[in-house]
């Protein structure tokens, strides 16, 4: 299985300038290659191959006066930028042909130096781990890293990222074996909500931390100060950094809490079943701020990849399944109910239900049924499995099965 590990980096002033130069060169190569392919498409010419772009837009461009500064950064950075563009085009073409599940993917777009997030990607030829615990990056130097945990294997690639608040992160990709936990005889159905973040089928409730709501007062003051600064001034840039740092704190707290909650649920249950919510649709309603503050999609993604990592069963129940309308005791469908109804009595057996607990139990029963039927998802009205979007890589650790890869124990220098 392939995992991703993130660590905070602390480059000095010289290294920050070198990284800024690398970010800019990677962005220029991306834009030049993208422009060449768009011009060829407009002129109805053949698709420009990667080999041609590498020869003209990288190798020959370094010899010209206007692009001579491309030679100041590692060639790996420039080649990886071109490979990322190829991957973006492949995703776009696969989406057009129906080979890619999930939402439609648009064509690649130009990058701007004003983007709040800048990154470069390196392979093993352009970085290494030193004996003193630093990370050497070609033409940048030895970066100081805060090692929050040990790498389980030798990394195969590295991504250096600068976020909107000015922080630097190193993201390593390693190949390692799955860590299968001992089998349990407990299953869990989960009903996600806003007032209560999650209700489990055994009756346990997880309160919603509401990190954004708790930080709104401070964010409101920082946003007010930012709005009063003159456009283009250094004071406005400083105020923008303060707002970005506060938002980064909120995101970090939410992510840390979700990792701990999802790991606890996966470790305590052999199988986990969750309802597939239309988060993108709910994010356009009057509940948008609360929906985004809850972070349901990221939490479900963590449950999914951790279940694969620890050898657990995970399945999603289609959003059309009437989990709040069916009595979990007798199976009688009592009809739709407004959100204001939190407790209701079954008209057939007379059982008094808590709305969320009853929904979690129904999700559990439906999840067991679809797993027993040999599927990973609920069938839709046409009898076909619902196609779900791919799970994005998590920031802290992300798992994706990879066959035929061996695990290298330990990491030199750490």
Active site amino acids: 191, 275, 356
Side-chain half-sphere CA neighbours of 23 within 13 A: 21
Whether residue 33 contacts residue 47, with contact meaning beta carbons closer than 8 Å, is answered with no
CA dihedral 312, 318, 323, 329 (to 10 degrees): -50
Rounded Cα gap, residues 333 and 222, in angstroms: 50
Question: Helix (H, G, I), strand (E, B), or coil: what is residue 5?
Answer: strand
Task: Label the pairing between strands 205-207 and 196-200.
Answer: antiparallel
- If one counts every other C-beta atom within 10 angstroms of the C-beta of residue 283, the result is 15
Rounded Cα gap, residues 129 and 180, in angstroms: 29
Whether residue 196 contacts residue 355, with contact meaning beta carbons closer than 8 Å, is answered with no
Whether residue 261 contacts residue 302, with contact meaning beta carbons closer than 8 Å, is answered with no
- φ/ψ (deg, to 5) at 208: -80, 125
The candidate with the shortest Cα–Cα distance to 107, out of 97, 93, 128, is: 93
CA 183 to chain centre: 28
Rounded Cα gap, residues 52 and 408, in angstroms: 37
């Amino acid at each position: 299985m392939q995992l991703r590990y993130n660590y905070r980096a602390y480059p000095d002033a010289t290294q920050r300038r070198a990284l800024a130069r690398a970010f800019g060169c990677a962005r220029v190569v991306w834009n030049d290659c993208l422009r060449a392919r768009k011009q060829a498409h407009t002129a109805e010419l053949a698709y420009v191959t990667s080999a041609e772009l590498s020869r003209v837009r990288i190798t020959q461009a370094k010899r010209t006066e206007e692009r001579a500064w491309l030679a100041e950064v590692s060639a790996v950075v420039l080649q990886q930028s071109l490979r990322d563009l190829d991957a973006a085009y492949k995703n776009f073409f696969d989406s057009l042909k129906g080979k890619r599940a999930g939402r439609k993917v648009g064509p690649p777009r130009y990058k701007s130096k004003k983007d709040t997030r800048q990154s470069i990607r390196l392979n093993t030829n352009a970085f290494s781990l030193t004996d003193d615990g630093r990370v050497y990056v070609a033409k940048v130097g030895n970066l100081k890293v805060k090692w929050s945990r040990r790498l389980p294997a030798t990394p195969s690639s590295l991504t250096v990222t600068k976020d909107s608040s000015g922080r630097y992160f190193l993201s390593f990709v390693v190949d390692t074996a799955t860590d299968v936990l001992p089998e349990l005889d407990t299953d869990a159905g989960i009903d996600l909500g806003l007032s209560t973040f999650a209700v489990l089928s055994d009756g346990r409730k997880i309160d919603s931390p509401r990190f954004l709501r708790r930080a709104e007062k401070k964010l409101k003051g920082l946003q007010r100060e930012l709005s009063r600064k003159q456009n283009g001034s250094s004071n406005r840039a400083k105020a923008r950094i303060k707002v970005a740092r506060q938002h980064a704190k909120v995101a970090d707290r939410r992510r840390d809490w979700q990792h701990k909650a999802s790991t606890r649920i996966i470790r305590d249950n052999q199988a986990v079943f969750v309802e597939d919510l239309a988060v993108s649709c709910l994010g356009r309603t009057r509940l948008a701020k609360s929906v985004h503050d809850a972070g349901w999609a990221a939490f479900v993604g963590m449950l999914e990849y951790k279940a694969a990592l620890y050898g657990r069963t995970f399945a999603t129940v289609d959003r059309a399944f009437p989990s709040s309308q069916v009595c979990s005791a007798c199976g009688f469908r009592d009809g739709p109910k407004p959100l204001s109804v939190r407790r209701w009595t079954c008209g057939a057996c007379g059982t008094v239900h808590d709305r969320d607990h009853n929904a979690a139990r129904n999700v559990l029963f439906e999840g067991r049924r679809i797993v027993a039927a040999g599927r990973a998802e609920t069938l839709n009205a046409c009898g076909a499995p619902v196609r779900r979007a791919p799970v994005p890589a998590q920031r802290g650790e992300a798992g994706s099965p990879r066959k035929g890869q061996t695990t290298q124990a330990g990491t030199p220098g750490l």
